[in-house]
Amino acid sequence: MNDVLNRLSELLEQRKSADPSSSYVAKLYAKGMDSILKKIGEEATETVIAAKGGNQQEIIYETADLWFHTLVMLAKAGLKPDDVLAELARREGLSGIDEKAARVEK
C-alpha cells in the first residue's frame, strides 16, 4: 500500500507545475490551501454520510476521495505520506490518552 501512496505523492508533486486548465490537481493548487481544505471538509462529510448509510462500496469510494484530497493538502504543505506514516509508527503501541498527554504544545 505504501507504494501506491508514494506513486500518488510523486504524481501530485508533478502536478504542481501542470497547467490548471488541464489538471484537476493543478487547479486545486492554483486556488490555494483554503480551497483544498474546503474540499477535504466536503469529502469528510460525504464519508460520514456513506458510513452512516452502511454501503461498503460507498464507504470505500468516499474514503478514497477523502484520502486523495488529504494527500493533495500534504503535498501543498510540502509534506509526504511517509511523514504521516512515520508519526503513526511512532504512536504504535502507545495509549492514545498517553500519546496526546505527551504532545508538546506549539
Task: Write the pLDDT tens digit of every residue in 26-63.
Answer: 999 999 999 999 999 999 999 999 999 999 999 999 99
Q: How confident is the model at residue 1 (pLDDT cuts 50, 70, 90)?
A: low
E strands, the chain, are none
* Spatial CA neighbour of 10 closest among 74, 63, 66: 74
Q: What pTM was estimated for this model as a whole?
A: 0.88
Cα-to-chain-centroid distance, residue 91: 19
Q: What does the DSSP 8-state code read for residue 18?
A: S
Q: Is 103 helix (H, G, I), strand (E, B) or coil?
A: coil
Which pLDDT score is estimated for 96? 81
